[in-house]
A = this chain, B = another copy of it.
């Protein structure tokens, strides 16, 4: 284990999400910062705020410059932010001081750092969106394929009544549909440019502040924000909360899979995985376990992102840095979890025989509700419920079928037709198909 397990070479096959990691490398940070400075210069040149040639020189610099991340460390250590050190290097790298002076003209560090973050969060949004759709498609296939495969629904850790495996798969996917909708609603709030200067009132940009920000937004393909959000971190917290909820949905799926795959249930077979260092028979549910761990990590870090909302005055250095310590890990946790979940789902195999056997086990008590409803046609329902409760107890005591016991008393009813998984699926198959249709 390394300080962050995401950065461990040992764990990289399990945990590393190269696409997300590439967005949060030192190099990506520097590239994003530099590209925002360049876009700012171009926007300023278009508005005549700085010379065209300076903007070109800055753009050219941005294209070519190579900054060693470690070279920014001393300056960042002193300032708490990398911008002053970065500007110093960029200015040195430019040949002509008359151009260099227009770098970062009127901007404040927060404008650049926040905008550069959002350029990368846009990438995270795209990755999450695409992977959510991929996972939903896999779930849709699974739900549809097994829409009518009977299995035991379990409530409060006990067999309840029959359902279908397709309906269970649909229940895993349902929250993801929700999250996809929220992601779309959130994007315009989140993916905004920041350009408000030292204290959020754009002083150094003068009359052009508004136009300049719009141009920068358009240049970077981000939304504009008419009011300074230096101190309003809501959208970042909303994104963090959404990613955490995505991880929660995947952890629920994983828990259900592990429960279904446990030896005594054996209704699900998970992808073959490696084993134990000492027990030759073990097949540990590694992907599912990891999904649960990633959720818990994300949940704990999300709490820090909410804490960071308490951003004091016009800029709060502590709250701001807290975002950098947590949000990238939350993104990595969600990104990787979506990959793992898709891998888990596409390799998941239901065991129809065992599902049936488990349904029939325990003396057919899962039909108790259905039997009580049928008996309610013969007597008041509370009486029917009380009678069935008694018969359940008898069936357990005598280790015989509940349906047989009730048949002894009410032989004229076709209990076999009723105490039958196919007869008791309700709209499970319909729900599975409805989910599949919405998920595609």
Contact = CB atoms under 8 A, between A and B. Distances in A.
A181 interface: yes
A135 to B, nearest CB: 15
A431 B382 contact: no
Contact of A155 (B226, B252, B314): B314
A332 interface: yes
Contact of A3 (B7, B279, B290, B373): B7
B273 A10 contact: no
Given A201-B427, A286-B79, A307 B313 contact: no
B280 A385 contact: yes
Contacts of A413: none
A322 interface: yes
A231 interface: yes
Given A84-B276, A197-B426, A306 B10 contact: no
Contacts of A332: 3
B1 A4 contact: no
A181 B186 CA distance: 10
B100 A10 contact: no
A215 B258 CA distance: 38
A10 B201 contact: no
Interface string A13-45: 110000011001110011000000000000000
B80 A286 contact: yes
Contact of A325 (B5, B197, B248): B5
Contacts of A133: none
Contacts of A226: 431, 434
Interface stretch (A55-63, A163-171, A216-224, A344-352): A163-171
A265 B157 CA distance: 11
Given A231-B171, A299-B304, A322-B293, A156 B101 contact: no
A118 interface: no
Contacts of A4: 3-4, 6-7, 325, 328-329
Given A156-B316, A248-B310, A297-B325, 10 more contacts: A2-B7, A4-B328, A9-B26, A112-B277, A160-B314, A185-B185, A197-B278, A201-B427, A201-B428, A263-B362
12 contacts: A1-B117, A79-B284, A80-B156, A161-B199, A161-B201, A200-B431, A202-B426, A237-B241, A256-B312, A281-B389, A293-B321, A300-B301
